[in-house]
Amino acid sequence: MEEIWNGFVQALGLIASRDPEVLEITRRTLMISVSSTSIASAISVPLGSLIHFNRFRGKRVLVSVIQTLFSVPTVVVGLLVFITFSRAGPLGELDLLFSPPAIIIGEVVLITPLILGLIISALSGLDRAVGETAISLGATRLQMVLLSLREAKFAVLAAVIMGYGRAFSEVGLALMVGGNIRGFTRTLTTTISLETSKGNIELSMALGIILLLIALAINVTLNRLQQR
Amino acid sequence: MPILQTMNLDQGFGGRNILSDINLSIEPNEVFVIIGPTGSGKTTLIRLLDMLDRPTGGQLVFFGTDVTFSRPLRLAARRRIAYVQQKPLVFTMSVFDNVACGLRWRQEKKEVITEKVESVLRLVGMLDYRERSAKTLSGGETQRVAVARALVTEPEVLLLDEPTANLDPISVTKIEEVLGHVIDAKRTTLVMATHDMSQGQRLADRIGVMVAGRLVQIGKPHEIFMSPETREVAEFVGMDNILPGIVTGKDGDLATISVHNSTIEAVTSYPDGEMVLSLIRPEDITLTVTPAASSARNTFKGNIVQMVSLKPLIRIEIDCGFPLLVLITQRSSDGMGLSIGKTVYCNVKASAVSIIKRWTY
Amino acid sequence: MKKPGYLYIGIIAVASLLLSATSCMTTTPETEPSTPTPAAPNTQTPAPTTPQVPEVPEVSPTPTPQAEPVAVAPLSPKNRVRVATTTSLYDTGLWGYLEPLFEEQYNVELDVLYAGTGIALEYGRRGDVDVITVHSKTRELEYVADGYGTERVPFAYNYFVIVGPPDDPSGIMDMSPEEAFQTLYMDASSSFVSRGDDSGTHSKEKAIWAAAGYDYADVQAAGDWYIEAGRGMGPTLLLASEEQGYTLSDMGTFLAYQGDIDLIPVVQQGAILLNVYSVIPGNPEVNPSINAEMANNMVDFLTSDDIQKLIGDYGVEEYGMSLFIPSAGSEPES
């Protein structure tokens, strides 16, 4: 109990004093999670629309595969990204391993199936009449797709929020491909992991509280967008 | 040149045929009403006409072009057609935005859009609702918005599926008013499906009767209602008295038909010996308590077995050896002191009897 | 949604892409969160207490020895150098102490990867790091022989120590390491926490088991008392303390963690306990992408007189003894 209280007090201290390392780690965490979510969404929205609105052989199988990938262990993705971008691997030339872009790439791979599957689900939940009415009124296919996304806005944004949550809370992958390098690839979650294993419980708690506060702030913002 | 044609149109799912061999030819600015009982395939046909589904057989020709298989041709045709569904769906936006959709998609200029949308909203009486969220409207209001949405694009063909079904009387009136306005302007071809025969009779230039996926009769309203060509049409248009019989004599066009143990005289071209059905509307039978010296050539004596009040009318079933259904006003009935068991005389003019061929299988 | 909604999303997307681009472009000013004294885990907070190297946020007209971080893409090998280190050098805080010194002296960004000897060797083989600091002589020699490293340069040493609960339930105090392990095996009642992570310490542990006459596979299957932690030295000590069991640790990390754990040294004598740390630069002929210049600078740095002195003094003030004994290129007989 004392530990929790101390952690809380320490957290407030760190925030109030604007400790530079905490700020830096926070900034990086935000940058990585927002970037990966944005990229994953930019891929998933068009791709999801394409898959949903077209009929093709194996569509059901594809959707099943996507949904299976929801629960791919993050360390598996981490391993794949590691061996791909390692100097010994096929994309080693890019010198991306142990840098923030590697984490972003890994997170994009991780959350794209999630956002994609949920967007397909969101569009499937729409009344068929939405698309038909639009087509009937003379919309081109693209206009119809945009309208459908608008009509399913709530569920589409929910998909993005879920994806963000997964990216933001990522540890294993960030450790494996980022290397948890101080000043370069540390995120709030990896730092908590490191400090806890070293016994710095109070510091970890402080960071944990900051992490939760940020998660709350971001979610409130996205929720407001959702409600419009 | 017909604006819209279908040739041998078929539609089926999983082996079942919903529509069979539909042949239509609709002229520009015509009002064509498709009537038929629920489940006869009216909605399926209208959807095919809006090209929302592809037929399993046959062809669809719009503005002289076969659009059955080509996507770009369909899009081009579709922009000249509008469709109001049976239960229209409005988008999650204001009434104004809903109606403006079609114009925005056609990249109309903003001022033009505003002007056209307001004008059509005024027409359907929904101008005051323009900022309201369309999802909060009642059934009748939604229908009016849907009609407005369809009309704002100034379509050459307007397709409507049961536009006034399940609406309150005020909305029904309003919508028929709007349709009347559209018809009067003489710039739009209307194809409308309904199960309301009187609506069809009021609005249509021609009627097509659909039963079980087939168009069983096409003609002017008067023809359909007076001279149904098949038993199903007869039943549908309310000829409740359908009497099997056989032609026993002919004098020119006047035929004598043996029905049960009576005879009916009617005008028909069927020859002697033909097996026929005699069709009589309940409202075409007059009742008298004494054998009347009326101009009716047909009189049947019988007893009242049932009386059902359909205020201000009353439907009376009389047993004349065969059942006859008669529809008269409550006032007349009271005036004659009719009651169950009473003996009455049913009088029908020969000209009020329709004759169609009878098929016995 | 109305236009403002799209606008928000657009702004967020563009802003995040810009942020990621600029983060790649500029390096963050290195702040020194730990105090000059070795980091005792509990008392360390990342508050900006007396930094070893004063930050220079403003650009000064004349280049000062405290380097202004250079704003170039760190993706180019010239400006970043990576070292993978065994955990004991990190958990003691030594690397945290040396990192800014190296960066300042050579004007580079040093990335320190907390790894463990096994992983460090693998990173080195793959060319993902430029230089490694590890402590497993046999594997180091093999590594160099295979051509992955150019040379093996010992730079410091200390001793391993077997630590255990203050009441020494298995009674192994002052035995030889081999005897102690035999006793633990046969006793099978007190826990023993192994690193279990292929690290230098783990290699040493396996060597002691072998010297004690056991097949390591048998040890692993010996029972619940043998716990494979799979983590670094500091965390393993914490676990052993929780379990009130025994473990093998290097002296440096043990001293650094002493305040937080309830364990005491029980076996400190034995030739087998010698623990030599070496630095091995990567071989650019095998992995051309390696920053060979900086890797060699690292060797020079660690064996330089100044740094050797600092290494030797590290921990004296706080613990009363050196955590590491500098050995500049040589090593004591084992």
pLDDT score for C53: 37
pLDDT score for A1: 73
Nearest CA among B173, B200, B192, B231 for reference residue B359: B231
Q: What is the DSSP annotation of C258-305?
A: GGG---EEEE---GGGEEEEEEEEB-TTTSTTS-HHHHHHHHHHHHSH
pLDDT score for B17: 83
Of B260-274, B285-299, C205-219, the least confident: B285-299
Enumerate the CATH 2.40.50.100 domain ranges in chain B, comma separated.
239-357
A212 touches chain B (CB under 8 A): no
Contact partners, residue B296, CB within 8 Å, separation at least 6: B286, B347, B348, B349, B350
pLDDT digits (tens, 9 = 90+) for B162-171: 998 888 888 8
Total number of residues shown for chain A: 228
Nearest to C287 among A38, A87, A97 (CB): A87
pLDDT score for C206: 93
Nearest CA among C237, C275, C271, C240 for reference residue C253: C237
pLDDT score for C6: 56
B44 touches chain A (CB under 8 A): no
| Secondary structure (H, E, C), C97-142 | HHHHHHHHHHCCEEEEEECCHHHHHHHHHHCCCCEEEECCHHHHHH
Nearest to B52 among A127, A132, A150 (CB): A132
Total number of residues shown for chain B: 361
Contacts of C53 in chain A (CB under 8 A): none
C6 touches chain A (CB under 8 A): no
pLDDT score for C38: 40
Say if domain C158-274 classifies as CATH 3.40.50.1820.
no
A223 touches chain B (CB under 8 A): no
pLDDT score for C63: 36
At residue A48, what is the residue type?
G
pTM: 0.76
Contacts of A20 in chain C (CB under 8 A): 29, 31, 48
A143 touches chain B (CB under 8 A): yes
Tokens of residue B184, six digits: 């009067």
At residue C171, what is the residue type?
G
Q: In what order do the strands lie in the sheet with B157-161?
A: B81-84, B157-161, B189-194, B31-35, B206-211, B214-219
A35 touches chain C (CB under 8 A): yes
Q: So where are chain A's domains?
A: 31-200
pLDDT score for C10: 61
Tokens of residue B321, six digits: 């050896």
d(CA C183, CA B41): 90
Tokens of residue C33, six digits: 């969160």
pLDDT score for A39: 95
Contacts of C47 in chain A (CB under 8 A): 13-14, 17, 19
pLDDT digits (tens, 9 = 90+) for B102-159: 899 988 899 999 999 999 999 888 899 989 999 999 988 999 999 999 999 999 999 9
pLDDT score for C85: 92
Q: Identify the residue with better confidence: B63 or B361.
A: B63
d(CA C181, CA C169): 14
Overall CATH class of domain B239-357: mainly beta
pLDDT score for B12: 85
State chain A's mean pLDDT as an integer. 89
Superfamily name with CATH number, domain B4-234: P-loop containing nucleotide triphosphate hydrolases (3.40.50.300)
pLDDT score for C247: 94
A130–B85 C-beta distance less than 8 A: no
Tokens of residue C249, six digits: 């640790």
pLDDT digits (tens, 9 = 90+) for A120-161: 999 999 998 999 999 989 888 899 999 999 999 999 999 999
Nearest CA among A85, A82, A110 for reference residue A170: A110
CB C250 within 8 A of CB C158: yes
pLDDT in tens, chain C (334 residues): 344 455 656 666 666 666 555 554 444 433 333 333 343 333 333 333 333 333 333 333 333 333 334 444 444 445 789 999 998 888 888 998 999 999 999 989 999 998 888 889 999 999 999 999 999 889 999 999 999 999 999 999 989 999 999 999 998 998 899 999 999 999 888 999 999 888 889 999 999 999 999 999 999 988 889 999 988 888 999 999 988 999 999 888 898 898 889 999 999 888 888 889 999 999 999 988 888 999 999 999 999 999 999 999 998 888 888 888 898 877 776 5
pLDDT digits (tens, 9 = 90+) for B60-105: 888 888 887 777 888 888 888 999 998 899 999 999 999 999 899 9
Q: So where are chain C's domains?
A: 158-274
Taking the CB of residue B222, how many other CB atoms lie within 10 A of it? 10
> Three-class SS of residue C320?
coil
B102–A137 C-beta distance less than 8 A: yes
CB B189 within 8 A of CB B81: no
A with B: how many residue pairs have Cβ under 8 Å apart?
A: 46
State chain B's mean pLDDT as an integer. 87
pLDDT score for C155: 92
Tokens of residue C236, six digits: 């393993």
pLDDT score for B18: 87
B106–A129 C-beta distance less than 8 A: no
C104 touches chain A (CB under 8 A): no
CB C210 within 8 A of CB C216: yes
> Three-class SS of residue B225?
helix
Return the half-sphere exposure (C-beta side, CA atoms, 13 A cut-off) of residue C250. Answer: 34
B149–A137 C-beta distance less than 8 A: yes
Contacts of B85 in chain A (CB under 8 A): 129, 133, 136
Q: How far is CA C214 from CA B3, B343, C217, C218, in A?
A: 96, 120, 8, 7
CB B263 within 8 A of CB B302: no
User: Which residue of chain C is at minimal alpha-carbon distance from A11?
Assistant: C45
C-alpha dihedral sign at B211, B214, B216, B217: positive
A194–C114 C-beta distance less than 8 A: yes
B82–A137 C-beta distance less than 8 A: yes
Tokens of residue B294, six digits: 């009326």
Picking from C2, C7, C12 by the largest number of A CB atoms within 10 A of its own CB, the best residue to mutate is C12
Return the half-sphere exposure (C-beta side, CA atoms, 13 A cut-off) of residue A50. Answer: 7
In the numeric block, the tokens 């706080």 are attached to C318
Contacts of A96 in chain C (CB under 8 A): 75
User: Which residue of chain C is at minimal alpha-carbon distance from A38?
Assistant: C13
Nearest to A21 among C46, C76, C289 (CB): C46
Residue A108 — pLDDT band, cuts 50, 70, 90? Answer: very high
Nearest to C111 among A88, A184, A225 (CB): A184
A133–B85 C-beta distance less than 8 A: yes
pLDDT score for B63: 82
A with C: how many residue pairs have Cβ under 8 Å apart?
A: 133
pLDDT score for C14: 66
Q: At what angle do helices A20-53 and A188-197 cross, to 10 degrees?
A: 120
Kind and range of the H or E run holding B176: helix B169-185
pLDDT digits (tens, 9 = 90+) for B201-233: 888 999 999 888 888 889 998 888 877 888 888
A46 touches chain C (CB under 8 A): no
Tokens of residue B239, six digits: 């000829």
State the complex-level ipTM.
Answer: 0.79
Enumerate neighbours of C (3 or more CB pairs within 8 A).
A
C17–A35 C-beta distance less than 8 A: yes
pLDDT digits (tens, 9 = 90+) for B235-258: 888 888 888 888 888 888 888 888
A228–C112 C-beta distance less than 8 A: no
pLDDT digits (tens, 9 = 90+) for A11-29: 788 778 877 888 888 899 9
C19–A19 C-beta distance less than 8 A: no
Q: Which fold has domain A31-200?
A: MetI-like fold (1.10.3720)
Nearest to A98 among C99, C113, C238 (CB): C113
Contacts of B78 in chain A (CB under 8 A): 135-136, 138
Nearest to C1 among A101, A183, A228 (CB): A228
The answer to whether residue A87 scores a pLDDT higher than 90 is: no
In the numeric block, the tokens 């084992």 are attached to C334
CB B264 within 8 A of CB B278: yes
A135 touches chain B (CB under 8 A): yes
pLDDT score for C22: 53
A181–C128 C-beta distance less than 8 A: no
Residue B293 — pLDDT band, cuts 50, 70, 90? Answer: low
At residue A189, what is the residue type?
T
C-alpha dihedral sign at B140, B146, B151, B157: negative
Which residues is B44 bridged to in the sheet? Answer: none
Residue C211, phi then psi, degrees to nearest 5? -65, -30
Nearest to C31 among A20, A98, A200 (CB): A20
Residue A215 — pLDDT band, cuts 50, 70, 90? Answer: confident
